[in-house]
Structure 1
Amino acid sequence: MPNQVEQKLIQPLFDALQKERFVTLSTVDFETGGPNVSAISWILAKTDEKIYFAVDNRSRIVQNIQKNNQVVVNLIVNESTYSISGEASVKMEKLNDVPLKLALIEISIKEVRDVMFYGSKITVEPEYDKTYDKAAATRLDNQVMDAMRKA
């Protein structure tokens, strides 16, 4: 249903964000003040009001959030497209039990909006494939998701 607005995640969105998945993240660029969009996959709905995600702690995303904490996550699921806006903060500079230096970012959700254009639905959700060592990718993905669940 287009144009539905909530203050927290509805159940299908919460469920979808219990595993790694493709989303886009919009931040405000710390240098230009313009929009900055990134694709990320290490994302987890901690509650229906909080989302965690992990990125390299040297990422432009971290710099952007430190300058302006307004973010939007774009999620394609449940036959629609959702805009999840909120305020982000660096919860941990380095996520525990992960071999990479990843920052844990927490988003406090302010609004969840169904932004699918009228009279349509998503018939196939985005898919991606890891192009490096599959076993190493799976091991790292599991470490990151487990660490976010424990945080």
Structure 2
Amino acid sequence: MSANNQQQLTDELLQQLREETFVSLITVDHETGNPYVSAISWVYAPDRQTIRFSIDNGSKNIMNVKKHAGIVLTIIDNGTTYAISGNASIIEENMDNIPIDLALMECRIEEIRDIMFYGGKLVNEPDVEKTYDEEAAEKLDNQVMNALKEA
């Protein structure tokens, strides 16, 4: 492991993962064995070793994790990109008190790598805009984030 690799979240990453943020979820496709990439935003880190996230419970990622627990989460923060590797588990296939069908998953962190190419720095981080009813989006976001925090 190089000197830039870590095994737990830094203060900055912990804070970023306690807010709704843009994250890529990479799993192993249970049918092909190829990487399977999804964008997610309902993510919460309760501590430096754990990341919880919520996805549609009909997502292919559910079957992927059931067959192969290894995942990678990528996050852009502080001008760089991090790859957070670990093993995921499904905590709840259908989260209670959420008006849409979502699963609750959890990743135990094994390694965090700064994967930004040499000499590069991101000058703008992703800025996501909800494209559906703003009030409904805020209500749903609050429900899901609270459920992630309380799990």
| 1:65 correspondence with 2:62 | no
| 1:40 correspondence with 2:49 | no
Aligned to 2:56: 56
Aligned to 2:81: 81
Structure 1: which 4+ aligned runs deviate by more than 6 Å? none
Identity %: 47
Aligned to 1:90: 90
Partners in 1 of 2:109 and 2:45 — Cα distance? 10
Partners in 2 of 1:126 and 1:3 — Cα distance? 27
Measure how far apart 1:94 and its partner are: 1.7
Task: Output one character per residue of 1:72-96: Cα deviation in whole Å (capped at 9) or x when no partner.
Answer: 0010001110000000000112222
Measure how far apart 1:36 and its partner are: 0.4
Name the aligned partner's letter for residue 91 of structure 1: I
TM-score normalised by the chain length of structure 1: 0.96
Partners in 2 of 1:3 and 1:140 — Cα distance? 40
Aligned to 1:105: 105
Task: Output one character per residue of 1:84-125: Cα deviation in whole Å (capped at 9) or x when no partner.
Answer: 000000011222221112110000000000111111211110
SS in 2 for 1:5: coil
* Contact 1:73 1:83 survives alignment (8 Å): yes
User: Which structure 1 segments of 5+ residues have no match?
Assistant: none
Measure how far apart 1:3 and its partner are: 6.7
Equivalenced residue count is 150
TM-score normalised by the chain length of structure 2: 0.96
Name the aligned partner's letter for residue 139 of structure 2: R
SS in 1 for 2:120: coil
